[in-house]
Structure 1
Amino acid sequence: MKSTLSSRLHEKRSEIENLWEKMYPNCSPEAFFTMLRKRYSQRNNDLKQLDAERLETPLWYMDSTILGQMLYTDKFNATFRGLVEKIPYLVSCGVRYLHLMPCSRMPEEHNDGGYAVEDFKSFDPKIGTTEDFIHLTTECRKAGISVCLDFVLNHTADTHAWALAARQGSKEDQKRYFFVFDKAEVDAYEATTEEVFPQQAPGNFTYLPDCNCYVMTTFNNFQWDLNYGNAEVLLSMLDNVLYLANLGVEVFRLDAIPYIWKQWGSPNRNLPQVHWIIRLFRLALEIVAPCCIIKGEVVMSPKKVAAYFGTTAAPECHLLYNVSLMVQMWNSLATRDTRLLQKCLTELPTDIPPSSCWVNYLRCHDDIGWGIEYGDLRDLGFSPFEHTQFLISFYHGTFEGSFSLGELYEFNQKTLDARNCGTSASLCGLERADKTHDKYQKELAIKRLLLAHSFIYFCKGITVLYSGDEIAQLNDYSYKMVPALQNDSRNVHRPYFDWEKTHFSKPQDSDAALVWTTLQTLSAYRAQEKDFSSFTEEKVISTNEISVIAVKRGEKHLVIANFSEYQKEIILDYPAFGSYTEVFSQRDVQLNGSPFIVGPYQYLLLRRN
């Protein structure tokens, strides 16, 4: 039976009504259904054709050909039109999924890199118009690239039309936020709710002298939390998403999901209503724009994050970040010890809906927070405090013997806690090696960088590369000279893309050439092998060396990676003996239970013959 708007509405109506009744018992959901019909009627034929294709292949995003890249439009090539000019470059990188960092209309200053949104239905005029954006999504679609857009659920900018009206005394608009006129009520909320940025933005409320009241500001004082207890807020935000879907967005990264429902007396994280809201977003998209999928930003360990995939009967997010994989990659490089990385992969939840897929990355626009389970550290004989301090100082570059250079973010003078910032290349040692003109350390830095990227590329899930990493861009300290940016050290790894580095004829021409060529080779091989789809097995294989990790992927492939600068003689606890070919060197390898050598920071991809 052909799927139509009517059939999808009929199929999902009862569930929507039940969810709505739980959240808004005194409010009819008919406005919800009216909005769905209106937005579907405005959807163009090209997008409806894509909807039909995706309904036939709903797990398209789990294919081995899907490689992602995330970027800031303005820093990549200035504008949406400029980005269109660079689509051939993205195609040459193997990109099939393009994540654009926030580009909605935002305040000139105090915009948190675009996460303070002034208008969800228009774009930053410096980047382009709505017509420019439609042109971009259309051209990307022609090139086989799905556009992903950040959508900020939790808050608006304090310059949003609702916020301005609320500040002028509009009671209707004040109810879209959390306006509190009693300090005791503020204190009661603070008593059960942790701060997100205790150094940069302490507390969860901001006092407004002109209103003689407080407004909830979980993240920054210029980002006002939305009140999803108000049905009008949910309807408006859903309408914004469907509007953007009709402009050609295929993947929505929903920002800061765990925070979106507030309830005095609770921790105000991960409340049940959060899951109901995400489920409603998914149902709305499945009805109006079934080609679209949801990626959730939930920064916790996978076993805690997995709840946001929902259930097989009621799935929520299609994609979730495997933040722990990123953290354990950097931990393994610093310690030369892969035991926590092995544990991370071994314990990755598998009891998740069949539409669920992990997103893997080495770096992104954000900081690195060292959220390692204390129990796991103690099990290996580490002091959680001392080990975290080691990682913070190592990637800051202040630990004796560190190869890394980076910046601290949210340093707490009382607890000494901090997060780390830096590009992949600088964190892997390339910047320090260049500064000291140490050729050997530079060789090791390049090997480290390629090892880290290759391992991420061959893990189960979608690999998303942070723009600039493919050309080994270093930290950019120029942000310190810009008043609006200088207090946010995350800008050190948000440089403008250096197009000069892409001009080369052979891999030996430069560090950028070698890294770019290697990553292109990795992505091309990954794309052609079904073993690297998100449907296939991922199993950690034990070795005799803690610095070496081995992972079986699918039916035929074995990934081996040495996270040490010393060669290792390893023995695999792996019964599948026989003849293998190392994919990149084409060297024959016999696995027969005997020890063999893995070089410094070497990675091997073995394919069974």
Structure 2
Amino acid sequence: MTSSKGNGGWQGEAGFNDRLQQYRQQALGALGDLYGQRPDFTEVTSRVFAELRLANRARPEVLGELDQAREQVATDWYQQPDLIGYTCYVDRFAGDFDGVARRIPYLKSMGVSYLHLLSVLKSRAGDSDGGFAIEDYRQTHAELGGIDDLERLAAALRKAGISLCIDFVYNHTAREHLWARKALAGEQRYRDYYYLLETEAEKQAYESYLDEVFPVSAPGNFTFEPALDAWVWTTFYPFQWDLNYHNPEVFLEMLKNLLFLANKGVEVFRMDAAAFSWKRAGTDCLNQPETHALLRAFRALVAIAVPSVILKVEAIVGARQATMYFGAGDYQGREGHIAYHNALMASLWRSLALEEATKTAHLLRDLPHNPAGTAWVNYIRCHDDIGWGTLLDSAAAHWSSDAAELERVADFYAGSSAAGQTYARGQRFETQAEHRVHGTNGTLASLAGLEQALQDGDRAAVNLAVARITVLYSIIFSQSGVPLINMGDEVGLLNDYTQSAAGSGRDGRWLHRPALQGPQAPLHRQAAKRIQAALAQMARVRAAQPVFHAQAEVDIPTLAAPAVLGCVRRYRGQRLVALANFSGRAGAVGLDEIGAPDGCRDLIGTACAGADGTLTLPPYGYAWLLC
């Protein structure tokens, strides 16, 4: 064990009581929105606060010191320019927890200070939705190591200045979870932990309002369980049973699990599938008011018991809804500390396919900014597909696409277009019908053209693919929030067709979840070195410039070059301009367009300054300029 004896957290009981006083009303307000109409509400809240006190008393001394440092000095640590993220499956990255510890120097070489380990908690055997069907929240996968090994790894990462993030799958459990097994055995207490519908008519009354997450591989939202003589709500796969948060016992149990893991050294919890967590008849059961109340409750309670911990919200919803997961109205800044900017991710891929930046510029300009005390998580690829639905909008905003345009984009990344074969080597995901767009699978390198270029032995095409990869990363490193490197992007990792075909059953997302390995072909090795060097340089430059703080003032200028995206950042006297060219042709930007007629100092990038007061960006070029 790496943790020292619990000392009652920062400042012991006195510190806990101070934080309880500070956040009590926020917690009670959120819990009241969830359970305030129940006759046992006072008892529920008393039990919640008692669990907080127990968790704080059990807080290891070293984590209490971290609480103190972040409360007193570094309250905005997750908004700082030097927070650089990396995400991976443990087995694919390093084999097990000890292997990850041995690879800390590799992470530090890229400037990483935040490590998201995917699906480390014990999931069901066999198909598990990539590890997101949790059988036990207090155990890890045996092949990765035990929970004590995870705790030791968290300590090693913390010593190296890296914060550990893991997934908190709180919308559902595996069918094999103890609660589900007890429900199957007939225990009413645990039947009440899940949504069980007893008639086909009752099921259809809900189903008629619901969309489908996996319309091909897992159509519908309910699974009939003969042992229960009922339909179980299963939003994702039949083996993932949705939890019933109308029952406060469920909330209390999941809170206890979160606090247990926080006291093992987890500093960031990815709140999985947040948008689905509350169900209401007559609605699509997405983005419900209580969905947000749940997050407000978790955040306030975390602030009381384990104040150095933050919540990262995964809400893959429409672009207009995403900002709401920071909190809206009177609750701004009271939900997720950080949240995935999935709309930006999808829009960047759209811009690359269409070679135009206009809609991405509109997206960044028109959507609400994140509230004070919050930050986006900006990324290019992750373990999931690229979901195109986030770019649909019923109000037809300037940043949105219609289904026909998204169909063309999805075709492009599947390798075809009206003009013929494209450079991309991806696959459609969960496309239900010929003209319905759902998602796209593939690694960054394969989608950006590196796979095809290497197959052709075409050095010029390899250079263009590397430029596409680096220009995309230049954008997420220059935007406000936490840039997140997906494992393998830094070395140009290609699609794994054998894994997708043989190792995953029906889940095509394993196409872009290969094991990390060094490229073998010389041309691939050269490309990988260039990508890795570019990302490491971006991390170094970003970390050294205060203007990249998440609370910087940001403007998105309108540029004459339609394929060039511009971003102007201002923070404490610094002014930085970031430019990125989505086109395979050079793009010119006038210094007057970016408010810098007297010129700029080049920090990083590939732009060339002309005597006529213009900057020329080469195909897929980028520049960061202090002006």
The alignment's TM-score, normalised by the length of structure 1, stands at 0.94
In structure 2, what is the equivalent of residue 518 of structure 1?
534
The structural deviation recorded for 1:413 is: 2.2
In structure 1, what is the equivalent of residue 502 of structure 2?
482
Which residue, 4, 8, 16 being the options, matches 2:15?
4
How does 1:93-492 map onto structure 2 within 5 Å? 93-311=110-328, 314=331, 315-350=334-369, 352-371=370-389, 372-374=391-393, 384-399=402-417, 400-413=420-433, 415-482=435-502, 485-492=504-511
Quick check: 2:362–2:398 contact (8 Å CA) kept in 1?
Answer: no
The structural deviation recorded for 1:311 is: 4.6
Q: Which residue identity lines up with residue 546 of structure 1 in the other structure? A: P
Q: Indicate how the Cα distance of structure 1 residues 232 and 514 shifts in structure 2: closer, same or farther if over 3 A, else same.
A: same
In structure 2, what is the equivalent of residue 542 of structure 1?
558
Q: Which residue identity lines up with residue 475 of structure 2 in the other structure? A: F
How does 1:22-41 map onto structure 2 within 5 Å? 22-24=33-35, 25-27=38-40, 28=43, 29-41=45-57
Any unmatched runs of 5+ in structure 1?
none
Q: Indicate how the Cα distance of structure 1 residues 545 and 48 shifts in structure 2: closer, same or farther if over 3 A, else same.
A: same
Q: Indicate how the Cα distance of structure 1 residues 214 and 107 shifts in structure 2: closer, same or farther if over 3 A, else same.
A: same
The structural deviation recorded for 1:11 is: 2.8
Quick check: 2:587–2:616 contact (8 Å CA) kept in 1?
Answer: yes
Q: Distance between the aligned counterparts of 1:488 and 1:496, measured in 2?
A: 17
Q: Distance between the aligned counterparts of 2:272 and 2:366, measured in 1?
A: 25
The structural deviation recorded for 1:204 is: 1.2
Q: Secondary structure at the match of 2:130?
A: helix
Q: Secondary structure at the match of 1:105?
A: strand
Q: Indicate how the Cα distance of structure 1 residues 94 and 187 shifts in structure 2: closer, same or farther if over 3 A, else same.
A: same
The structural deviation recorded for 1:58 is: 1.2
Any unmatched runs of 5+ in structure 2?
1-9
Q: Secondary structure at the match of 1:538?
A: strand
Which residue, 582, 589, 594 being the options, matches 1:574?
594
The structural deviation recorded for 1:325 is: 1.1
Q: Distance between the aligned counterparts of 1:525 and 1:567, measured in 2?
A: 25
Q: Indicate how the Cα distance of structure 1 residues 406 and 310 shifts in structure 2: closer, same or farther if over 3 A, else same.
A: same
Q: Write out per-residue CA displacement over residues 514-559 of structure 1, whole angstroms, 9 at most, x where no aligned residue.
A: 1101111111011000111112122112221101122212233211
Which residue, 567, 571, 575 being the options, matches 1:556?
575
Q: Distance between the aligned counterparts of 1:502 and 1:257, measured in 2?
A: 40
Q: Indicate how the Cα distance of structure 1 residues 447 and 11 shifts in structure 2: closer, same or farther if over 3 A, else same.
A: closer
Q: Secondary structure at the match of 2:594?
A: coil
Q: Distance between the aligned counterparts of 2:446 and 2:402, measured in 1?
A: 25
Q: Write out per-residue CA displacement over residues 408-467 of structure 1, whole angstroms, 9 at most, x where no aligned residue.
A: 110112543231011111111000111122222122111111111112111111101101
The structural deviation recorded for 1:114 is: 1.0
- 2:543 matched to 1:527? yes
RMSD value, Cα: 2.3
Higher alpha-carbon deviation: 450-459 or 143-152: 450-459
Quick check: 2:519–2:525 contact (8 Å CA) kept in 1?
Answer: no
Quick check: 2:606–2:621 contact (8 Å CA) kept in 1?
Answer: no
The structural deviation recorded for 1:589 is: 4.4
Q: Secondary structure at the match of 1:6?
A: helix
Q: Secondary structure at the match of 1:391?
A: helix
Higher alpha-carbon deviation: 104-113 or 433-442: 433-442
Q: Indicate how the Cα distance of structure 1 residues 486 and 596 shifts in structure 2: closer, same or farther if over 3 A, else same.
A: same
Q: Secondary structure at the match of 2:599?
A: strand
Q: Distance between the aligned counterparts of 2:323 and 2:393, measured in 1?
A: 20
- 2:93 matched to 1:65? no
The structural deviation recorded for 1:312 is: 7.9
Q: Which residue identity lines up with residue 357 of structure 2 in the other structure? A: T
In structure 2, what is the equivalent of residue 13 of structure 1?
24
Structure 1's consecutive aligned runs of 4 or more residues displaced over 6 angstroms after TM superposition are: 375-378, 585-588
Q: Distance between the aligned counterparts of 1:156 and 1:543, measured in 2?
A: 48
The structural deviation recorded for 1:601 is: 1.4
Q: Distance between the aligned counterparts of 1:379 and 1:258, measured in 2?
A: 25
The structural deviation recorded for 1:260 is: 0.8
Which residue, 72, 75, 86 being the options, matches 2:92?
75
The structural deviation recorded for 1:210 is: 2.9
Quick check: 2:79–2:375 contact (8 Å CA) kept in 1?
Answer: yes
The structural deviation recorded for 1:388 is: 1.4
Q: Write out per-residue CA displacement over residues 39-79 of structure 1, whole angstroms, 9 at most, x where no aligned residue.
A: 11111110001001110121111010010011101110111
The structural deviation recorded for 1:18 is: 4.0
Q: Which residue identity lines up with residue 340 of structure 1 in the other structure? A: K
Q: Distance between the aligned counterparts of 2:33 and 2:363, measured in 1?
A: 36
Q: Distance between the aligned counterparts of 1:491 and 1:482, measured in 2?
A: 10
Higher alpha-carbon deviation: 159-168 or 562-571: 562-571
The structural deviation recorded for 1:313 is: 5.6
In structure 1, what is the equivalent of residue 625 of structure 2?
606
The structural deviation recorded for 1:164 is: 0.8
Q: Distance between the aligned counterparts of 2:434 and 2:199, measured in 1?
A: 30
Q: Which residue identity lines up with residue 334 of structure 1 in the other structure? A: A
Number of paired residues? 601
The structural deviation recorded for 1:193 is: 2.1
Q: Indicate how the Cα distance of structure 1 residues 591 and 71 shifts in structure 2: closer, same or farther if over 3 A, else same.
A: farther
Quick check: 1:581–1:589 contact (8 Å CA) kept in 2?
Answer: no
Q: Indicate how the Cα distance of structure 1 residues 80 and 147 shifts in structure 2: closer, same or farther if over 3 A, else same.
A: same
Q: Distance between the aligned counterparts of 2:398 and 2:554, measured in 1?
A: 24
Q: Secondary structure at the match of 1:561?
A: strand
The structural deviation recorded for 1:378 is: 8.3
Q: Distance between the aligned counterparts of 1:180 and 1:336, measured in 2?
A: 49
The alignment's TM-score, normalised by the length of structure 2, stands at 0.91
Q: Indicate how the Cα distance of structure 1 residues 548 and 21 shifts in structure 2: closer, same or farther if over 3 A, else same.
A: closer
Q: Secondary structure at the match of 1:470?
A: helix
The structural deviation recorded for 1:8 is: 1.4
Quick check: 1:195–1:202 contact (8 Å CA) kept in 2?
Answer: yes
Q: Which residue identity lines up with residue 565 of structure 1 in the other structure? A: G
Q: Distance between the aligned counterparts of 1:301 and 1:552, measured in 2?
A: 26
Q: Distance between the aligned counterparts of 1:194 and 1:375, measured in 2?
A: 16
